Amino acid sequence: MNKRALRAASILSIVLTLLSARLSVGAVSPDEETRRLLEKSLSIVEIDKEIGRIREQHEALADTAERTAERLAEREAAVERKREEAGRVLRSYYMGEKDMLLAALLHFDSLADLLAMLDYVQLLFARDQHTLNDYMAQYRELKQNYEEQNRELELLKATEDELLKQRNRLAALQAELDSELDGRTDAERLRIWMDEMNRYWETAGLREVRQYFRALADAMQQLPDWVQSNDDYLTIQGLQYTLVIPEDGLNAYLREQNDLFMNFSFGFQDGRITAGGSREGMDVQIAGHYTVEDEPKNGLVFHVDELRFNGLYLPDTTRRALEKEFDLGFYPHKIVSFLKATSVSISDGELKVTLNVGL
């Protein structure tokens, strides 16, 4: 048994011992209470990481907003200069200065004088038109910059709100955990176990979960090719296509793609997709669902509803981070370029996708 497996077995043994401990906690059974404490401790670690991610995003957005503000100041000065030039041009028209040129065209001594005057007038009017067009182009660009700045400021405000929300959530969860541990005779031992479990998650568990998600993302990229080679899963009626993927077919496909899935399986039931497996003392369980979304491209987008590691539920922040990092979506246009998904449903043992011809 390698070091990783030994460490996994050791940690699992600690957790199992903890879960079987005879601890008196009111109406809640010892096993449930201990598991809940471990989950809170793990959630604190993960929410703290989410705060770090949001803080980095906030700092990057603040830098971008500052650069946009500097660019806006420069553009405003340039547009102001062009506005003054455009104003002079317009005043010359309204105050009759150009009328003198037009009158001069009617009084000429020779054809050569007329042609010279025409060239001059044409050049002058072309320059005026260029000044007006340049002003309008710079004005439109400035307006777009303002809109861009407003979007950046809105996103910056949203990250500030989310940062505050997660900080408050973390503080409340930490206070709750401290309160529940306060006064317990086994509090110190529980904290040691929590710290050990959290370190195990950080050093081995998260890497294992990410390995599964990466393998699934890679497999989903190749799924359209697999569907094309298994056209019995795809039926056509008029302009509507129906794709029905059985769970045994999907599991066979995944195991062909990666040996990691030899001990990992998918299931379709109760309107949800479940997936899970165990190896080297680590158990990973995932549950989620697909939705049809058209932006940024039409396809089925996977949402992680539950994520458990060794029986402990991970918080929503971890699930969202994994969703962003790994694309588990399915895009019908990769099967046939003109196909668009319109609905998706899950029944016992089957994933059904309705597709229409996108016109």
Q: Which fold has domain 22-185?
A: Helix Hairpins (1.10.287)
Rounded CA-CA distance 351/267 in Å is: 9
φ and ψ of 236, to 5 deg: -125, 135
Cβ atoms within 10 Å of 355's Cβ, excluding its own:
24
Residue spans of the domains in the chain: they are 22-185, 205-357
Cβ atoms 44, 60 nearer than 8 A: no
| Element (DSSP H or E) covering residue 359 | none
Question: CB–CB of 310/282 below 8 Å?
Answer: yes
Tens of each residue's pLDDT in the chain, 359 residues: 455 555 555 554 454 444 444 333 333 334 688 888 889 999 999 999 999 999 998 888 888 888 888 877 777 777 666 666 655 655 555 555 555 455 554 455 555 554 555 555 555 566 666 666 676 677 777 777 778 878 888 888 888 999 899 999 999 999 999 998 887 888 888 888 889 889 999 989 999 999 999 999 999 999 999 988 888 898 988 888 899 999 999 999 999 999 999 989 999 988 899 999 998 889 999 999 999 998 888 899 999 999 999 989 999 999 999 999 999 999 988 888 888 999 999 988 999 999 998 76
Identify which of 68, 47, 228, 58 has the alpha carbon closest to the alpha carbon of residue 146: 68
> What's the rounded Cα separation, in Å, for the pair 72 and 323?
35
